Structure 1
């Protein structure tokens, strides 16, 4: 049996994408088992593999883990991406929780009903540029270090880069007023494991296309 983590989800971003990013950043190869139809999700539930009847689910180290944050916490701890002490971990957790909130806004936009998309888009960009990105720009300015916590590479650096790249898909010049985030983006993108993940042909998932939305909705509803 393969020792690689096995990821169970649909063939798209969703709540699995931060997990893919974190594994890739840690240099961990992983396999993916894609749900193509609702029956695939039903089978996972009937087989007792989903503790709360939800995906993402990751098979790793003999466990069938669910809940995105729990999975990311485990991976970050296992691969030394979670700070050197409790205080650093607390900072990482605070930043990650904020990024998860922003991720929810960005991730769900393509799935919003047509009559709410314009309002959601405006809210999403407003919070990105006026609530979240200014905080991380200030963090980088205040401590003058290359990474967000403890001047060492951690899971929060991975997730912030993921969010930056997602936000740029919606507004390419979104970092115009954030010079330190621009430098951060360039710096983190050049870490070898991340640089590899950003290359064409990796397991990173693209922004969903309109034609893909109904298929995803059919799996979950």
Structure 2
């Protein structure tokens, strides 16, 4: 039996959350090890001195994008050819841009979070979600690429949920995305990850922000 991937990160979302989502979509159980993550740093496993770190298949992988692309390929969520992979990369880069704005706000705008979040919701409604609405409407298929469930779908679903935490009605003008969310959310592995007790982490609160600031000293 293959060992569970070991995830070294803070006990919060951050850059590890997309990795957790992708592994959950693939039906892979993981071992989260924040408590021992700092000792790994001194042991020299963090190539650039920073997490996330994923231990899998005898490798210590760092850098979020490298980890995600490896996992997507390993678990057959990365398209069937180079053209499909290019489209998946394009879509995941877009959703990651949106998600990182949300993840960074508690750290970069501690006194004006509401205003920053309102700006992000506006960008989601005018830049990001219209693009994905157009893609889904244009090809009339269930998923973003090749009518097969992929990393791009996982990350778009995650991004939708993150924006809905800021504005529950954000999909009101996007019927394709609303149907997409329902379709993906009903997939067994995705539904399981949405249940209490999963590895899914909540939005950053003041305690989490303080812990990260104290550890990273910024």
TM-score using structure 2 length:
0.95
What secondary structure is seen at the aligned counterpart in 1 of 2:165? helix
Distance, in Å, in 2 between the alignment partners of 1:183 and 1:61 is 36
1:20 match: 20
Distance, in Å, in 2 between the alignment partners of 1:114 and 1:155 is 32
| Higher alpha-carbon deviation: 113-122 or 137-146 | 113-122
The one-character-per-residue Cα deviations of 1:59-116 (angstroms, maximum 9, x if unpaired) are: 0000000001100100000010000111100000000111111111011122233344
1:130 match: 126
1:218 match: 214
1:205 match: 201
TM-score using structure 1 length:
0.94
* Equivalent position to 1:188, from 160, 184, 187: 184
The one-character-per-residue Cα deviations of 1:147-177 (angstroms, maximum 9, x if unpaired) are: 0000000001000000100100011101111
Distance, in Å, in 2 between the alignment partners of 1:22 and 1:6 is 14
1:9 match: 9
Once superposed, what is the RMSD of the aligned Cα atoms? Answer: 1.6
In structure 2, list runs of 5 or more residues that go unmatched: none
Distance, in Å, in 2 between the alignment partners of 1:206 and 1:7 is 17
In structure 1, list runs of 5 or more residues that go unmatched: none
Runs of 4+ residues over 6 Å off in structure 1: none
Distance, in Å, in 2 between the alignment partners of 1:207 and 1:158 is 18
The one-character-per-residue Cα deviations of 1:112-140 (angstroms, maximum 9, x if unpaired) are: 33344344223211211100000000000
Q: Size of the alignment, in residue pairs? A: 217
